[in-house]
Copies of this chain bind each other. A is one copy, B any other.
Amino acid sequence: MAAVAFVGLGVMGGPMAGHLARAGHTVTVYNRTTPKAVAWVDANGGQPAASPRLAAEGADAVFLCVGRDDDVRSVVLGPDGVLAAMRRGSVLVDHTTASADLARELATTCHAHGVGFVDAPVSGGQAGAVNGALTVMCGGAQDHFDVVAPIIDAYAKACTLMGPAGSGQLTKMVNQLAIAGIVQGLSEAMHFAARAGLDVDQVIDVIGKGAAQSWQLDNRGRTMWRGEFDFGFAAEWMRKDLEICLDEARRNGAQLPLAALVDQLYAQVIARGGARWDTSSLIHLLDNP
């Protein structure tokens, strides 16, 4: 069992850190809003820390799950950041979906401190975090991965090293690009089905057996055409992820016409008050023009 720190106890990080505590690791937590850290300790044991730096003191591995690139920079590189306290030979794992450039930058900085770094964005959503069934996409060196993979197993159904630092983030971007197309296509399909007067539930049963099948159809088809969006992965986070994809594509030269369109459509969803609505809320724009 390891001494670990976990920074960021949101809808993802909270249950992930909980799995670490239940697996027998000694867990020290930090959260920007203190009451959330106190509530987490009440529920899971472990101990709260007053800063990321204090949380990381003496840890074998430090895990982050925060919001954006700047949040990661702050909790890692700031005066009270984890890197100021991490010992040589320990490993920093960033579960935040962030840019590949940030991952490469942090890997270099950590290396200079004798600290390992693994970028490790996840997919599987809140349900995957709660059930310990996340897919974890990692970038980094094999020896650093080998240290943290057995710990990550507490909340992962799959944890894969995809290549050097940044490769986890790039893989997550591929995932989000695929989802962007599926969700807009499915939105148009469900919107059309309702307009055509079909029994949409029956349509979902039938088309889900063939080449139109997708996880999104199976798990979001029924809710989206009923306009139920108060759950799942928020439109504002999906938009952040698409921004990362589009930024990276400016560098690697990939053409992403559909992702660029869907990014703008999420801007509309958010402008209508749907920042916290599930990713499937793209259909709202079609049903309510």
Residues on A close to B: CB < 8 A? 100, 123-125, 128, 135, 137, 157-158, 160, 162-163, 167, 170-171, 173-193, 195-199, 202-203, 205-207, 209-217, 219, 233, 245, 248-249, 252-259, 261, 286, 289
Interface of A (DSSP majority class): helix
Q: How far is the CA of A215 from the CA of B190 in the complex (A)?
A: 18
Residues of B within 8 A of A191 (CB): 254-255
**Considering only CB atoms, which chain B residue lies closest to A158 in the complex?**
B209
CB distance from A219 to the nearest CB of B (A): 8
From B170, B173, B215, contact of A210 by CB (8 A) = B215
Name A206's contact: one of B160, B205, B258 (CB within 8 Å): B160
Interface centre among A217, A245, A258 (most CB of B within 10 A): A258
Q: Which of A180, A190, A253, A254 has the most CB of B within 10 A?
A: A254
User: How long is the Cα–Cα vector from A214 to B217 in the complex, in angstroms?
Assistant: 9
New A-B contacts (20) at CB < 8 Å, excluding given A170-B197, A177-B188, A211-B219: A123-B207, A123-B210, A135-B209, A160-B202, A163-B197, A171-B193, A171-B206, A174-B196, A174-B203, A174-B207, A177-B185, A179-B185, A180-B188, A181-B181, A181-B183, A184-B185, A192-B245, A196-B252, A214-B216, A255-B286
